[in-house]
Chain A
Amino acid sequence: MIKINGLHKTYGNNEVLTDINLAFSKGHVYGIVGENGAGKTTLFRCIAGLESYTGSIISDLNPLKNHLGLLLTDPFFFSKMTGKEYIRLLCNARGKTNIHIEEKNIFNLPLDQYASTYSTGMKKKLAITAILLQENAYFIFDEPFNGVDIQSNIILTEIILKLKELNKIVLISSHIFSTLSDTCDEIHLLRKGAQIKSVQKSAFKDLEQEMKAFTIGNSIEKLDLK
Chain B
Amino acid sequence: MLPDFRNGSVAIHKMKHYFHLQFLITNRKIKETGINPILAYLLGLVAFLLITAYLFQKTEFAKYIVVLTCLGLLSKLSESNRTDFLITTFGDRVKNKIRILENGMVSIPFVTVMIYQNALLEAALLWVIAIVFAVFSYKTNVNFTLPTPFSKRPFEFLVGFRKTFYLFPMAYLLTVIAVQVGNFNLGIFSMLLIFGTVLSYYPKPEQAYYVWVHAHTPKKFLLYKIVTATQYTSILVAPVLVGLLVFYPNEFHIVLLFFLIGLLFVWTIILAKYSAYPNEISLPEGMLLAFSVYFPPMLLVMIPFFYKKSIYKLKMLLDDQD
Contact = CB atoms under 8 A, between A and B. Distances in A.
What are the 7 closest A-B residue pairs judged by CB atoms, nearest first?
A66-B215, A80-B162, A63-B319, A89-B154, A93-B214, A93-B213, A80-B159
A193 to B, nearest CB: 22
29 contacts: A49-B212, A50-B212, A52-B316, A65-B215, A66-B319, A70-B213, A78-B158, A78-B206, A79-B81, A79-B159, A80-B158, A80-B159, A80-B162, A81-B154, A81-B158, A84-B151, A85-B158, A89-B155, A92-B153, A93-B213, A93-B215, A93-B216, A94-B214, A95-B215, A112-B145, A113-B143, A114-B141, A117-B141, A117-B143
Given A50-B212, A76-B207, A80-B162, A88 B141 contact: no
A157 interface: no
A66 B320 CA distance: 12
A207 interface: no
B163 interface: yes
Interface of B: 81, 140-141, 143, 145-146, 151-155, 158-159, 162-163, 206-210, 212-216, 316-317, 319, 321
A204 interface: no
Given A76-B209, A85-B151, A116 B317 contact: no
A48 interface: yes
B163 A80 contact: yes
Contacts of B317: 49-50
Given A80-B159, A82-B145, A113-B143, A88 B319 contact: no
A72 interface: yes
Contacts of A95: 215
Contacts of B143: 113, 117
Nearest to B153: A92
B152 A70 contact: no
A85 B319 contact: no
Contacts of A76: 207, 209-210
A45 to B, nearest CB: 9
Contacts of B210: 76, 89
A89 B213 CA distance: 9
A94 B158 contact: no
A112 B148 CA distance: 12
A78 B210 CA distance: 10
Interface in A82-132: 82, 84-86, 88-90, 92-95, 112-114, 116-117
Given A85-B154, A92-B154, A114-B145, A65 B159 contact: no
B146 to A, nearest CB: 8
A65 B212 contact: yes
Contacts of A88: 151-152, 154
Contact of B145 (A65, A93, A113): A113
Contacts of A65: 212, 215, 319
A72 B109 CA distance: 43
A114 B141 CA distance: 8
